[in-house]
Amino acid sequence: MTPVIETGGLTKRYRRVTALSECTISVPQGRISALVGPNGAGKTTLLRLLAGLATPTAGRAAVLGGAPRQDPAFLAEIGFLAQEIPLYRRMTTEDHIGIGAHLNPRWDGESARARLGDLKIPLDRPVGTLSGGQRAQVALALTLAKRPQVLLLDEPVAALDPLARRHFLATLADAVAEGGLTVILSSHLVADIERTCDHLILLASSRVQLCGDVEDLLSEHRVLVGPRKDTTAIERDHTVVQADRTARQTTLLVRLNGPVITGPEWEAGDVTLEDLVLGYMGADADPATGELATVGGLR
Amino acid sequence: MTWVIWRQYRVTTAIAVAILAAFAVVLLITGLQDATRWHNALASCGKTNTCGTLAQTVSLGSGPVNTLVVLTLIVPILFGMFGGGPAVARERETGTMQYAWTQSVTRWHWLSAKAGWLLLAGAVFGGLVAGIVTWWSGPVNALNQGQFQPGSFDVQGIVPIGYAVFAVALGIAAGALIGRSLPALAVTGGVFLALRLIVTYWVREHFMPAVTTVYSVTQNLSLNGATWTLAQGTVLPSGQFTTNLSVGPGHVVSGPTGPQVPAACQAATSINATITCMARLGYHSFATYQPGYRFWPFQFIETGTFVALAAALIAVTFLVVRRRDA
Amino acid sequence: MIKFRVEGRSGVPPSQQIAQQVRQALRMGLLAVGDQLPSVREVVSATAVNPNTVLKAYRDLERQGLVEARAGHGTFVRGRPPGPPPGTHVRLGRAMAACVREARAAGLDDEAIESLLRVALQATAEEDIA
């Protein structure tokens, strides 16, 4: 099956800044994919390129089989939610439902009203007077009412309290469970990602470091703990993503290139999603010492 | 998209219509009063044969209403700054433009609908205001024949439509290129003002070559209609034209640095003798003007110019919005 | 109807947590053979867990012979995990709760109580081997 979202060598440069470099990803149908990376890594740029809000400097992107383009039929299939949740602040939710009905070829206003009714969000108040969590839910309901096939969300839950976040993700996961929807959601909250996402795209330094189903990625990595000693054998056989060397022991996050064969002094453990994300995000080598920097350490 | 624009501008439209209605009522009432006064004055001057000096004896309009009419000069700029500017700039700032584009509306469609309706609103509103003012000015124009003068020309006829359309286009273009409301507002106001001043005081008089008439210093030049006098003065015997000296029946006026009455004529016993003396020496009077029958051609030329500029601005806006990232 | 609680940072993947909670409910008698498990959408709405995760948990339970999926109707309990009847579980659960209360009264915190349990599990495992 062709992936719903695919890019090849996608690059975006703004004058002297390279926001995204040689990005190649693939997201299969029905996934809720977490787009993870430090600030400035290119997450928003990638989402905007996929939505057709920006054009690439080089490379290609394909969503639902075609390049993102200015065409109502294509635009109707994509839902995009920007971080600021731009809505017409002085208009009510009901107004927005009306606007959606007029501007979209496919529109299920009733589903939006039903969802928001379940969440007890009033439809007749100006959107600007709702709380952040309520506005996010309104925006999500409006985007889902378009019945898109692809949903691109740029840090939609960053400013929400834990309860509002939980509700938002539950609504999102339920919409995916209904069928026909693929989601990319950028976030830095590992707990949320672990719970709701089954696919991961990790960007760091404007490049793709990881892209795949979470299950597969976790099984491809191990944490190796052992006494401080020469690790060249391991480094030769596998890819060391991150190394944490203390006086007594060495902890390595490795990507396996084959079966793990080490001496008995090395203990191999499973990797959690948090280990993986922090390991790759912190794995920029420090040019002065040659040591790999660590962020947050490993468990 | 039309529905959305209506929803966005409902309240603004209602306020604008209310203000227009109030304005229309004021001008209707005072206009009818002026018309009555004018017709009465015409009737009575006919009997006493003093119609030639009506301008000195009759005054039409009142202070506040006249001021109101002059203030309609700013209607286009208000439309441009508050109607056109925020249209694109604020939607970019708040992200609602992006929101519309993610609601299956292509950029082309969004911009053409927005620009189209705003330009139309500007043209209609500007036209209605201009129509009311032109009707109201009927008696004043008949009395003073001043409609070609800068100030009156700009608020009557069809040029206000051109100005309004241009101001809206300028506001939209500024919003699209600058992207932030306040700077876009400032640029719209500034550029509009500058252009209007330049056209009014430096360009308009050259739409068609002005007519210069040279005539005897012993006579007055009588021109029919609403003439726009650009320059008046004296042709010296040397052939030099100067506006620093004015010679005519009953008056010789010389500017501070201007040529004086020639020595040969200074001994004359009366003003008229001086004038006859100067005539004999080869002095003539001249007037450079745009004749009154060119009022409407000028209206069309100026309106056309502003509409063409508006079209260019809109074309640029489309190009920018289409190719730029959202 | 069973309500699932998926803990974020427990170290146990969500699909396993769901399967464990179903098995525990079966042991305790809270779910009986023939009962219907919540639909995937119900679980997802309540916990914000990925639908594929819930499907995986239900599939694992199906493989273990504990539940069966009936097309168009839902997932139903088919059997119980091996072990003593629910009554035993309930009785032991109460005994353990009493022990925990005693430990807390003595001033132990959760971490200390967990360590005691782990030590006991290890010690008794060694006893069994010995």
What average pLDDT does this structure show over A141-156? 92
pLDDT for B148 equals: 92
- CB contact under 8 Å between A100 and B103, yes or no, is yes
pLDDT for B57 equals: 67
B1/A contact by beta carbon, under 8 A: yes
pLDDT tier, A292 (very low <50, low <70, confident <90, very high otherwise): very low
Q: Name the nearest CA neighbour of B315 among B122, B119, B149, B160.
A: B119
Q: Give the C-alpha distances (Å, rounded to integers) separating A144 from A93, A116, A178, C37.
A: 14, 12, 11, 28
For B:100-159, CB contacts with A below 8 A are 100-109
Distance from CA of A182 to the nearest CA of B (A): 17
Count chain A–chain B contacts defined by CB atoms under 8 A. 70
Chains that touch B (3 or more CB pairs under 8 A): A
Q: What is the pLDDT of residues C83-93, one digit of tens each?
A: 888 788 888 88
pLDDT tier, A46 (very low <50, low <70, confident <90, very high otherwise): very high
Sequence-ordered strand ranges (E) for chain C: 67-70, 74-77
Q: Which residue has the higher pLDDT, B48 or A149?
A: A149
Question: How many C-beta atoms surround the C-beta of residue C80 within 10 A?
Answer: 17
| b/e burial code for range A81-108 (CB count within 10 A of at least 16 → b) | bbbebbbbeebbbbbbbbbbeebbeebb
Percent pLDDT > 70 in chain B is 98
Q: Is the pLDDT at C57 greater than 80, yes or no?
A: yes
Q: What is the pLDDT of residues A176-226, one digit of tens each?
A: 999 889 999 998 888 889 899 999 999 988 889 999 999 899 989 988 888
Separation of alpha carbons B10 and B248, rounded Å: 60
pLDDT tier, C44 (very low <50, low <70, confident <90, very high otherwise): very high
Q: Identify which of A55, A72, A87 has the shortest CB distance to residue B104.
A: A72
- CB contact under 8 Å between A176 and C51, yes or no, is yes
Q: Is the pLDDT at B300 greater than 90, yes or no?
A: yes
Tell the burial category of B232 from Cβ atoms under 10 Å away from its Cβ (0-12, 13-18, 19+): middle
- CB contact under 8 Å between B104 and A104, yes or no, is yes
pLDDT for B166 equals: 94
Q: Where are the alpha helices (DSSP H) in chain A?
A: 43-51, 72-77, 93-103, 109-118, 132-145, 162-178, 190-196, 214-219, 232-237, 273-281
Residues with Cβ within 8 Å of residue A265, at least 6 apart in sequence: A226, A227, A229
B47/A contact by beta carbon, under 8 A: no
Chain A positions in Cβ-Cβ contact with residue B94 (cut-off 8 Å)? 86, 89
The amino acid at residue C101 is R
Tokens linked to B48? 């006493």
pLDDT tier, A268 (very low <50, low <70, confident <90, very high otherwise): confident
Q: What is the pLDDT of residues A7-38, one digit of tens each?
A: 999 999 988 888 899 999 999 999 999 999 98
Beta bridge partners of B248: B251
On whether the CB atoms of residues B157 and B51 are closer than 8 A, the answer is no
Tokens linked to B188? 């719209």
Distance from CA of A45 to the nearest CA of B (A): 11
- CB contact under 8 Å between A99 and B326, yes or no, is no
Percent pLDDT > 90 in chain A is 41
Q: What is the pLDDT of residues B195-232, one digit of tens each?
A: 999 999 999 999 999 999 998 888 888 888 889 999 98
Q: Is the pLDDT at B119 greater than 90, yes or no?
A: yes
Q: What is the pLDDT of residues B42-80, one digit of tens each?
A: 888 877 777 766 766 677 777 788 888 888 888 888 888
Q: What angle do CA A82, A85, A86 make, to 5 degrees?
A: 100
Q: Which residue has the higher pLDDT, C7 or B161?
A: B161
C14/A contact by beta carbon, under 8 A: yes
Mean pLDDT of chain B: 87
Tokens linked to A48? 């905007």
What average pLDDT does this structure show over B285-302? 93
pLDDT for A183 equals: 96
Separation of alpha carbons A160 and A170, rounded Å: 14
Separation of alpha carbons A123 and A121, rounded Å: 6
Q: Identify which of A166, A167, A198 has the shortest CB distance to residue C53.
A: A198
Separation of alpha carbons A240 and A229, rounded Å: 15
A65/B contact by beta carbon, under 8 A: no
Separation of alpha carbons B119 and B167, rounded Å: 9
Tokens linked to C72? 């168009």
- CB contact under 8 Å between A86 and B106, yes or no, is no
* Helix B2-48 and helix B107-136, axial crossing angle in degrees, nearest 10: 20
C40/A contact by beta carbon, under 8 A: yes
Q: What angle do CA B176, B177, B183 make, to 5 degrees?
A: 95
Mean pLDDT lowest for which of A25-39, B122-136, B257-271? B257-271
Question: How many C-beta atoms surround the C-beta of residue C60 within 10 A?
Answer: 16
- CB contact under 8 Å between C9 and A191, yes or no, is yes
Separation of alpha carbons C15 and C56, rounded Å: 6
Distance from CA of B22 to the nearest CA of A (A): 28
Q: Is the pLDDT at A264 greater than 80, yes or no?
A: no
What average pLDDT does this structure show over C52-77? 91
Which pairing describes strands A17-23 and B284-290: parallel, antiparallel, or unpaired?
unpaired
Q: What is the pTM of this model?
A: 0.80
Comparing alpha-carbon positions, the chain B residue that sits nearest to A80 is: B102
Q: Give the C-alpha distances (Å, rounded to integers) separating A199 from A177, A227, A239, B143, C12.
A: 15, 34, 21, 83, 18
Chain B positions in Cβ-Cβ contact with residue A91 (cut-off 8 Å)? 7
Q: Which helix (H) or strand (E) element contains residue B188?
A: helix B181-198
- CB contact under 8 Å between C48 and A173, yes or no, is yes
Separation of alpha carbons A36 and A186, rounded Å: 6
B96/A contact by beta carbon, under 8 A: yes
Q: Is the pLDDT at B158 greater than 80, yes or no?
A: yes
Q: Identify which of A75, A86, A91 has the shortest CB distance to residue B94.
A: A86
Q: Is the pLDDT at A247 greater than 70, yes or no?
A: yes
Q: Which residue has the higher pLDDT, B143 or C105?
A: C105
Separation of alpha carbons B270 and B248, rounded Å: 13
Q: Is the pLDDT at A233 greater than 80, yes or no?
A: no
Count chain A–chain C contacts defined by CB atoms under 8 A. 48
Mean pLDDT lowest for which of A45-59, A205-219, B83-97? B83-97
Q: Which residue has the higher pLDDT, C128 or B195?
A: B195
Q: HSE, CB side, 13 Å, CA atoms: give it for residue A107.
A: 15
Distance from CA of A268 to the nearest CA of C (A): 16
Q: Is the pLDDT at C113 greater than 60, yes or no?
A: yes
Which pairing describes strands A17-23 and B211-216: parallel, antiparallel, or unpaired?
unpaired
What average pLDDT does this structure show over A105-118? 90
Chain C positions in Cβ-Cβ contact with residue A195 (cut-off 8 Å)? 6, 8, 14, 47-50
pLDDT tier, A288 (very low <50, low <70, confident <90, very high otherwise): very low
Q: Is the pLDDT at C29 greater than 50, yes or no?
A: yes
The amino acid at residue A191 is A
Mean pLDDT lowest for which of A122-136, A237-251, B135-149, B282-296? A237-251
- CB contact under 8 Å between A173 and C6, yes or no, is no
Q: Give the C-alpha distances (Å, rounded to integers) separating A223 from A132, A244, A267, B162.
A: 39, 11, 8, 73
Comparing alpha-carbon positions, the chain B residue that sits nearest to A152 is: B102
Chain A positions in Cβ-Cβ contact with residue B1 (cut-off 8 Å)? 102-103
Residues with Cβ within 8 Å of residue B120, at least 6 apart in sequence: none
